[in-house]
């Protein structure tokens, strides 16, 4: 069996194999007698993970590949052409390998359940810049302000479509003497107050200021449309002028951007849960694949804590 592992080469001689091959074989030699899988099954799935991590610029070490963050990201975005059941099998094998290599369960905690639905990926910085340019270039003032308002509500306070379309002018409140901070109050069923992210304070304040102050009970988004339905946002976006080089505006993706920023700025999890309007972490678990991996040395330092 050891000879079969040592002679293993993936089909097609993929780029990067020379950098990860020795480590792949080392891990499978270690794990093969301890796991109820055939060596070839382990070699195949670990090779795919290793090549994916190599393409992401991560170090060529199994301790990095088999971290929870790397596995979750690989399952979510690294194997898009396989079925959900195959992704589940990959994940099971990789987590068992992680137990062997890292010891015990994943050092970073138990993984969230694998969802059959595709996570709503955040936009890249380039895509966000393109979206803002697209919004600013819409042919009418109504379309321009509608798109900008949606972007500010998604990227600034993390609202989804049902919440965004019910915000009224008087729900946007500026805090006196606090450097121009803006608070948005949402309505039932997830009523809460959310402090807007700094880059979007001005946009939200301007969106409220432009409307007649005597009608501050009007809706902030589409103020001249007095009925709200499940297609209010979708119908509005269908009237916008598309651009072939700009992704479609989606509130779920804007909210993903907002969540990723909060996690990567290391806000306390209780603050994120409260601002997101969720009762448990399950609703946030799908954002994990889009968070940047933490280097093993930094992860060890953080887990150990201060002196």
In this structure, the answer to whether residues 95 and 138 fall within a common structural domain is no
The mean pLDDT value for 129-153 works out to 96
Q: Is residue 220 in a domain?
A: yes
- Chain-wide mean pLDDT for the chain? 84
Among residues 58, 87, 117, the one where a domain terminates is 117
Pick the range with the lowest mean pLDDT from 15-29, 136-150, 155-169, 202-216. 202-216
- Please list, in sequence order, all residues whose beta carbon lies within 8 angstroms of the beta carbon of residue 210, skipping any fewer than 6 positions away: 145
Same domain, 154 and 251: yes
> What local confidence, expressed as pLDDT, does residue 107 receive?
43
Is 51 found in the same domain as 191? no
Strand order in the sheet with 193-195: 172-174, 182-185, 193-195
Q: Which helix (H) or strand (E) holds 214?
A: none
pLDDT of 215 higher than 70: no
* Distance in angstroms (rounded) separating the CA atoms of residues 65 and 190: 38
**Is the confidence at residue 106, as pLDDT, over 50?**
no
Q: Which domain holds residue 62?
A: 2-117
In this structure, the answer to whether residues 76 and 216 fall within a common structural domain is: no
How far is residue 305 from each of residues 145, 184, 269, 272, 291, measured CA to CA in Å?
47, 35, 17, 22, 21
Residue 300 lies in a domain: no
Cα-flanking dihedrals φ and ψ of residue 123, to 5°? -75, 150
The answer, yes or no, to whether residue 171 has pLDDT greater than 70, is yes
Query: 143 in a domain, yes or no?
Result: yes
Helix ranges (DSSP H) in the chain: 2-6, 17-31, 39-55, 62-65, 68-73, 84-102, 125-136, 141-157, 161-164, 201-209, 232-238, 251-264, 269-276, 296-304
Rounded to whole angstroms, what are the CA distances from 273 to 111, 173, 240, 285? 18, 22, 33, 11
The fraction of the chain above a pLDDT of 70, given in percent, is 88
Q: Would 290 be classed as within a structural domain?
A: no
- Single out the residue of 169, 170, 175 nearest to residue 198, CA to CA: 175
Residue with tokens 């979007």: 200
Q: Is the predicted pLDDT of residue 105 greater than 60, yes or no?
A: no
Q: Is 16 left (phi over 0), alpha (psi -120 to 50) or beta?
A: left
Q: Which of 89, 117, 145 is the last residue of a domain?
A: 117
Q: Would residue 269 count as lying in a domain?
A: yes
Predicted local confidence at residue 284, as pLDDT: 80
Residue 304 lies in a domain: no
Q: Does 174 lie in the same domain as 271?
A: yes
Same-domain check for residues 108 and 211: no
Looking at the structure, tell me whether residues 200 and 109 fall in a common domain. no
Do residues 105 and 147 both lie within one domain? Answer: no
pLDDT band at 112 (very low <50, low <70, confident <90, very high): very low
Instruction: Say whether pLDDT at 265 is over 60.
Output: yes
Q: Which of 117, 142, 172 is the C-terminal boundary of a domain?
A: 117
The CATH number assigned to the domain holding 131 equals: 1.10.443.10
C-alpha radius of gyration, the chain, whole number: 24
- Together in a domain, 238 and 142: yes
- Tell whether 60 and 133 lie within a shared domain: no
Domain membership flag for residue 296: no
172 and 41 housed in the same domain: no
Residue among 231, 262, 233, 263 nearest 250 (CA): 233
Structural domain count of the chain: 2
Same domain, 246 and 145: yes
Is pLDDT at 28 greater than 70 in this prediction?
yes
What's phi and psi for 162, nearest 5 deg? -60, -35
Q: How far apart are CA 200 and CA 206, in angstroms?
A: 10
Q: Which of 147, 175, 122 is nearest to 243 (CA)?
A: 147
First-to-last CA distance in the chain? 46
For 220-250, what is each residue's pLDDT tens digit? 999 988 888 888 898 899 999 999 889 999 9
Residues 6+ apart with CB under 8 A from 79: 48, 52, 86, 87, 90
How high is the pLDDT of residue 140? 95
| Residue 257 domain-assigned (yes or no) | yes
Q: Is pLDDT at 108 greater than 60 in this prediction?
A: no
């Amino acid at each position: 069996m050891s000879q079969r592992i040592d002679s293993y080469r993936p089909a097609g001689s993929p780029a990067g194999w020379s950098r990860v091959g020795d480590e792949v074989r080392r891990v499978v030699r270690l794990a093969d007698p301890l796991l109820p899988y055939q060596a070839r099954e382990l070699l195949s799935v670990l090779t795919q993970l290793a090549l994916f991590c190599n393409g992401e610029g991560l170090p060529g070490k199994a301790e990095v590949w088999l971290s929870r963050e790397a596995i979750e990201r690989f399952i979510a975005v690294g194997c898009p052409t396989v079925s959900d059941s195959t992704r589940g099998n990959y994940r099971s094998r990789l987590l068992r390998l992680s137990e062997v290599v890292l010891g015990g369960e994943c050092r970073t905690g138990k993984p969230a359940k694998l969802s059959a639905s595709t996570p709503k990926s955040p936009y890249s910085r380039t895509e966000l810049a393109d979206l803002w340019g697209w919004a600013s270039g819409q042919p009418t003032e109504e379309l321009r302000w509608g798109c900008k308002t949606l972007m500010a509500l998604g990227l600034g306070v993390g609202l989804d479509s049902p919440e965004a379309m019910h915000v009224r002018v008087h729900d946007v409140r500026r805090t006196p003497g606090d450097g121009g901070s803006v608070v948005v109050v949402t309505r039932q069923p997830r009523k809460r107050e959310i402090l807007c992210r700094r880059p979007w304070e001005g946009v939200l304040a301007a969106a409220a200021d432009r409307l007649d102050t005597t009608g501050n009970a009007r809706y902030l988004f589409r103020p001249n449309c007095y009925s709200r339905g499940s297609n209010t946002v979708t119908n509005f976006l269908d009237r916008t002028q598309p651009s072939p080089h700009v992704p479609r505006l989606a509130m779920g993706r804007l909210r993903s951007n907002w969540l990723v920023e909060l996690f990567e700025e290391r806000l306390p999890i209780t603050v994120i849960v409260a601002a997101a309007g969720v009762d448990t972490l399950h609703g946030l678990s799908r954002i994990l694949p889009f968070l940047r991996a933490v280097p093993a040395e930094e992860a060890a330092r953080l887990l150990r804590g201060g002196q």
